[in-house]
Amino acid sequence: MQLSISSTQLNDWSGDVLVVGLPKGKPSDTAAQLENRVPGVISALTKQDFQGKVGEQLVLHLLTNVNPQRVILIGLGDADAINLDTLRTASANGARASVGCTGRLGLHLPWDDQNPENAARVSMEASRLSLYIDQRFRKESDVRRVPTVLELIGLPNIDAAGLQSVNATCAGVELARELVAAPPNHVTPAALAKVAATLAHDYGLELNVLERADCEARGMGAFLAVSQGSDLPPKFIHLIYRPKGEVKRRLALVGKGLTFDSGGYNLKVGAAAQIDIMKLDMGGGAAVLGAMRSIAELKPAGVEVHMVVASCENMVNGSAVHPGDIVTAANGMTIEVNNTDAEGRLTLADALLYACEQKPDAVVDLATLTGACVVALGDEIAGVWSDDDGLISALNTAAEAGGESLWRMPLHQSYKKGLKSLLADMKNTGPRSGGSITAALFLKEFVSQDTAWAHIDVAGPVWSDKGQGVNPAGATGYGVRTLVNWICAQV
């Protein structure tokens, strides 16, 4: 979608479909301008009892030989309560209601009530992402008529160069959505490595892929234990963005990359286990790959980014890890596997150790790690754990700007006693209570003490059964916008 900005006033704008946000209450100046542009609008509002409540929507179909051919009115709620999330949701709903029209889509919202550049960015992102549809696996694709140009109407003078990141960021989100949504017979560990290779080729990134023998030589027994029940070889993927000039900050992104999780011998059973959608267990890996896709195009100066994904399947065969096995991570720490369905933290243990070898200033890992986090926060909010207040603040700011919700969770050190093993250095799971906290404490054991670290559990928001906001039903691409915003704000 081509993105543009127009200082043209609403009553002078010409295009194919027009989306206008109206606050709750009496007809505003915006409604009066719209009446001049499309006579009869105010009477239509009255007849349809349109009050401007949040989520309210009225679509007016005009004559086909008249522009605009369609006018979409979106309720914004109380004028003094309008914020960036209001504009984001209104933009998404308006764009979806434009399906069936081609050509130019005009969007008019109360830009002056917000920071105009931020308002423009979130509206553009929401409009493009809300029109995303995945038809790769259909015999015949549905031909959809959608606008090809999005124009923001009536914006004050702003630096349009600051909006050039929108398409790059959205492309990263869409890549993550495609990876999570694709079935596990298509997105395998080798397929993820191929995606990384394509990014490296297209954008001049560096790529190292460690094969099984390489991982064995490095002593990655925790990661390899998870992979040994699958016929598909594991892939340990290390993708690097190096900026031109001086490197002022070095960051590492680590993503859980289980392309399918059966649970192993602790097999996922029953409807609540949702084994049928365990393709999404590489949602963290998809997010960091999507973020690298965006960063590779944006090319932020002064920041070097290392992406690590330890990818494999968690399957059951005669070679699969047993409950009760003791495995050894690359740092020599021994782990009693008391639950083979807590496999993600085993793969992340070796991935975090490897990431810390790159001497980053900060490491952020994303993982669909625990059902306990979903119970606590639902499917719209990710939990984040860290001892570093500065890193938490930066991630929260980045997430808020991207419309992705984060909630800081406690990293209560006394819970670590739940990970004690009679035989090994630790177990891979603790008691059921506080399961997401003990999972984070487990991961912390594999991070260098002098490295800032945050763990983000994305088990809830990587998938939406019904779709909401900018997200379609299915894969959401959660995490990409937060990571891109965080990285680009580093220098």
Give the catalytic positions in this structure. Answer: 268, 345
**CB proximity list for 203: less than 8 A, separation 6 or greater:** 293, 296, 297
Sequential DSSP letters for 394-436:
HHHHHHHHHT-EEEE----GGGGGGG--SSSSEES---STTHH
Whole-number Å distance between alpha carbons of 351 and 347: 6
Helix (H) or strand (E) holding 72: strand 70-75
Ranges assigned E (strand) in 211-314: 235-241, 249-261, 303-314
Phi-psi region for residue 161, left (φ > 0), alpha (ψ -120 to 50) or beta? alpha
- For residue 340, which phi and psi values (nearest 5 degrees)? -75, -10
Q: Are 408 and 416 in contact (CB under 8 A)?
A: no
For residue 202, the one-letter residue type is D
For residue 476, the one-letter residue type is T
- Can you say how many angstroms the Cα of residue 445 is from the centroid of all Cα atoms in its chain? 26
Q: CA 26, 27, 31 angle in degrees (round to 5)? A: 160
**CA 235 vs CA 215, 320, 350: distances in Å:** 9, 17, 13
Whole-number Å distance between alpha carbons of 475 and 473: 7
- For residue 7, which phi and psi values (nearest 5 degrees)? -85, 0
Q: Is the peptide bond before 68 cis (omega within 30 degrees of 0)?
A: yes
In this structure, how many other beta carbons lie within 10 angstroms of the beta carbon of residue 387?
12
